Structures are given as C-alpha cells and as structure tokens.
Amino acid sequence: MSMLEMLCRDTLLYNYKTYILKFLPAQKRIYSERNRCGVAAVTVILSSSPFVTKTMVGPARPQFVLFGSSIVQLGFSNGGWGAILSDIYARKADILLRGYYGWNSRRALQVLDQVFPKDAPIQPSLVIVYFGGNDSMGPHPSGLGPHVPLPEYVENMRRIATHLKSLSCATRIIFLSTPPVDEARINQGTSEIFSELVRTNELCQKYSDACINLCHDLGVKAVDLFTAIQKRDDWKNACFTDGIHLSEEGSKIVVAEILKVLKQAEWKPSLHWKSMPTEFSEDSLYDLVAASGERTLNPSDWTFHREIQWD
C-alpha cells in the first residue's frame, strides 16, 4: 500500500476536506460542499488514487444519526431499535450509531464538536438524541460516577440541542426522554464489579419530565419514553433485557413512537419513510417476471418480510 493510500485510509474517510487541503494541495480534485441548508451532496474525485474511488459509496442518502448512551450503542443488539429503523429505511436513509456505553450528558458535551463538526461537508438530516438514564442515577459518595444534577442535565441537553440546530437548517432533531426501569430486577442483579446502582423510577421520571419540558421550550420534537413504555401492562418483564436496557419488545415501542413523530412533523422534506424516495426504484427488465410472463415485478418497496407493517 502506498503512502497516499495509507493517508486515504487513515484520514480521508473521517474528514474529506481536511485531507484534501492538507495532504493533497497539488492533486486534481473536485470538491462540492453541501450548503447550510443541506441541499447539495459532496463529491470528491482524486485522480491519482484508485483506493479512494473504490471506497467511496454512493449515491449519497440522508443520514439519520442516533446519538446517546448504551441504549443507543446497543441499538443493533437484541432486535434493537436502530436495527429496526435500518430495515424500515432501507434504500431511503442510512442509520448511523454514535452510542457510548455508560455515558452521561457531560461526556456528550466533551465530544459534541467531534461527533458533529460544524464544518462537515455532509450534515445529518436527522439526529435522535438519548441521554438521561445515567445522569439520573443517584450520586456516589465519592463524587465519581455518571450522576448529573438535574439543573445541569437540563443545561447540557440545551447545549446539545443548540449545537445540533446550528449544523444546518435542514437538520431535524428528536430527543428521547429517560425510560422507566425495573427496580426489582436491578436490585437483584447486583455485581461485585460495580458499586450499588441507584436507579429509581422516581428519578427517571424527574429527568424524563425535564427533558420533555426543555424540548417544548426549544421547539424540539420529543418522545416521552417514560410514559410510552409503561402503557404496556407487562412492561417490566417484556421491555428490558436486564431491567435497564431495551429488549426487542421495548425497541419496538421506541420505533413506533419515533415514526409517530416523523409522520406528524410538518418538516419539508418529510423524513417519514413512506414519504421518502426509494433508491433505484425504477422498473427494470431484470426484475422477477410476473406469473403472466408479460411483465416484471418491481420489488423496490416490498415490505412483506417485516413482522410488523410499520405505519
């Protein structure tokens, strides 16, 4: 592998613009930067590097970024809500996970500019944010740990929302509030590895309510997970793998609530999956042949494989 290809591998995939300007000042290049309203796509053509052209994936799709703690990181585990969204938005949008196990809103602020740089050539169409479960844990006597006092949590979430709003006038935001927990199962599942976990539904509700109220003040869409999950009678057993993290059934509730917001939002363009174009949806002579033998069947929007026919 040449030095140029090594630089491409280690740098270009993370920051096209920095790479081009810093490492390839004399190379022939075309750089079309997405504008502030997210209208144009980004195109990078480097004439002397076959490595780059082989790794670029297109055409560009809208990006939905899931940003948060372990409920986001595990979004593709156990039939998770990230995986479900990826299926629903197949050929429509790319679902990107930026989840970090054990994180709180303080740590999120530390990396916010790195995860969502304002000068990125492509900005996400949608960011779904979840922090609160770790923030709402009771404080540890040592002062260590993930607990964040409620007023600080609210301010941290405000700063996150403000930053995301500044990325592009076309970037939409949804906050997920703190879900409930199965206190009995948490208390039974103590471990010698961790100190006692102080997680109560009283604390979860306070942080959930604070998140919802903040979203109302900021004009940000919100999903009240604390209420939504408890609408199911058997939520304690059905919705969690360990009393805290979501099972497949819990994830289905999250997806249903997100789709409800996306369907009702008066965003233009709409980000609801039924309103978004399907990639390469044109009819083709190479599709499967219908029983009549006289035409082909276009499968681009088939959904019969899904257990749930999402609205």
pLDDT tens digits along 84-136: 999 999 999 999 999 999 999 999 999 999 999 999 999 999 999 999 999 99
Length of the chain in residues, anyone?
311
Q: Please check whether residue 290 lies inside any domain of the structure.
A: no
- Note whether residue 234 is domain-resident: yes
Which residue out of 49, 69, 177, 208 is catalytically annotated? Answer: 69
- Residue 17's pLDDT is 42
Residue 237 lies in a domain: yes
Active site residue 163: no
pLDDT of 191 over the 70 cut: no
Q: Quote the pLDDT of residue 190.
A: 60
Identify the pLDDT of residue 142. Answer: 85
87 occurs within a structural domain = yes
293: left (phi over 0), alpha (psi -120 to 50) or beta: left
- Model pLDDT, residue 125: 98
Give the position of tokens 């002062």: 143
Look up 242 and say whether it is catalytic. Answer: yes
Could you tell me if 155 and 211 are in contact, meaning their C-beta atoms sit under 8 angstroms apart? no
In a domain? residue 122? yes
pLDDT at residue 309 greater than cutoff 90: yes
Helix or strand run (H / E) with residue 174: strand 172-176
In a domain, 260, yes or no: yes
Q: How far apart are CA 139 and CA 148, in angstroms?
A: 8
Domain of residue 222, residue span: 63-275
Q: pLDDT value at position 58?
A: 76
Helix (H) or strand (E) holding 93: none
Q: Report how far residue 160's alpha carbon sits from residue 168's, in angstroms, rounded to the nearest whole number.
A: 14
Which position among 10, 217, 242, 311 bears the catalytic label? 242
Total-model pTM: 0.81
Query: For residue 159, which of 221, 96, 214, 224 has the smallest C-alpha distance?
Result: 214
Structure confidence at residue 49 (pLDDT): 40
pLDDT of 32 higher than 60: no
The overall average pLDDT reported for the chain is 85
- The conformational region for residue 142 under phi > 0 = left, psi -120 to 50 = alpha, else beta, is alpha
pLDDT attached to residue 198: 84
- What value does the mean pLDDT take over residues 154-164? 98
Within a 10 A sphere around the Cβ of 218, how many other Cβ atoms? 16
Tell me whether residue 147 is one of the annotated catalytic residues: no
Helix (H) or strand (E) holding 63: strand 63-68
What's the pLDDT at 39? Answer: 38
Joined tokens for residue 261: 């917001």
Q: What is the mean pLDDT of residues 273-294?
A: 96
CATH number at residue 143: 3.40.50.1110
In a domain, 8, yes or no: no
Give the chain's radius of gyration (CA, Å): 22
Give the pLDDT score at 55: 41
Neighbours of 18 (CB within 10 A): 13
The answer to whether residue 309 sits within a structural domain is: no
Residue 102: count of CB within 10 angstroms of its CB: 12
Please state the domain count of the chain.
1
Give me the pLDDT at residue 145, please: 86
Catalytic residue among 49, 168, 177, 245: 245
Burial 190-207 (b: 16+ CB within 10 A, else e): eeeeeeebebebebbbbb
Q: What are the tens digits of pLDDT across the range 42-60?
A: 333 333 444 333 445 778 8
